[in-house]
Copies of this chain bind each other. A is one copy, B any other.
Amino acid sequence: MGKQAFESRVAYLGPEASFTHLAAGEAFAGEWLMPYTTIPECIEAVSNGEVEFAVVPLENALEGSVPLTLDYLFHDVELHVCAEILSPIEQHFMVHPEQVVNKEDIKMVLSHPHALAQCHKYLYYRFRGVPLEQTTSTAAAAKYVSEHPELTIAAIGNDFSAKKYGLTIVEANIHDFHFNHTRFFVLQKANLKLDKKGHDETPKTTLMITLPVDDRSGALHQVLSVFAWRQLNLSKIESRPLKTGLGHYFFIVDVQEDEQTPMMLGAIEELRALGCAVKSLGTYFTYKKE
């Protein structure tokens, strides 16, 4: 066998030109990027060795739900996070080049329901009463507009999909919130940090913690004490139902510290001594897309 054309295969939540594709392309430029239909399919592709990496949305994404990614990582697989990608949500208003002259007279706006929701105020003030048509992705909306040059319709989506389908962006950055980021996890089997150029200095560790008893008010407070007295900074905390019945929860905690430091090793040991089950997704760096 000769030298491989690609160093690694990377699964991402499709379709092509999705926001996840955009994030994956940023982190794995020149690698073999492969679209998958659902989040579990992406995750399973790493788990069964079809690919080396998977990029999946974690927070505030258009294409998938947070709970699905977290729950699948908790319940179904033993994988690690090797990087997170923070990518700003930038929605643009795009039309077919032949329809640019009619841009004030749009008859219908197409996009993914979450994209329509993220541009709610823009659509309300600029295109009140114009019908909104839902599509399965922002890329599907752009594709439809590109295939119907005779219709005075517009799509909302990212610049990648505008380029891919030859549309003209007539108004950029029409999303309502401008500090809104989507968070993606890069997953792999090994517990190794992805250490490329341009990441943040502070490493982050994601822990999934199951409390020992039903007395949650006290137990959660105790868990946080373990981090607080060590001055370990938590950048996120979230509770998720355990799916073994109502009222049973596990917690996802992001700590701004490497899991191999003495303070973190001590914290994890102490959590286990308190009767908690602790599953670490590993330590990773944050890559910010500008």
Contacts and interface: CB of A to CB of B under 8 A. Distances in A.
Contacts of A114: 38, 64-65, 68
Contacts of A39: 117
Contacts of A113: 37-38, 63-64, 136
A227 B236 CA distance: 19
* Interface size class, chain A: 35 or more
Give the copy number.
2
Interface stretch (A22-30, A189-197, A212-220): A212-220
Nearest to A238: B238
- The main secondary structure of chain A at its interface with chain B is mixed
Contacts of A61: 65
A239 B241 contact: no
Contacts of A228: 217-218, 220-221
Interface string A125-147: 00000001011110000000000
Contacts of A249: 235-236
A245 interface: yes
A244 interface: yes
A228 B223 CA distance: 12
Contacts of A238: 237-239
A275 B114 CA distance: 34
A247 interface: yes
Interface in A161-183: 177-181
Interface in A57-98: 59-61, 63-68, 71, 75, 86
Interface string A199-237: 000000000000000001110110011011001111111
A243 interface: yes
Q: What are the nearest 5 A-B pairs in CB distance?
A: A221-B228, A40-B120, A38-B117, A134-B136, A179-B243
20 contacts: A37-B132, A38-B117, A59-B67, A64-B117, A65-B66, A68-B114, A71-B177, A75-B177, A135-B136, A179-B245, A180-B241, A181-B241, A217-B228, A217-B231, A221-B224, A221-B228, A235-B249, A237-B238, A238-B238, A238-B239
Given A66-B66, A180-B241, A221-B225, 10 more contacts: A37-B113, A64-B113, A68-B118, A86-B246, A217-B233, A217-B234, A220-B224, A221-B221, A224-B224, A236-B239
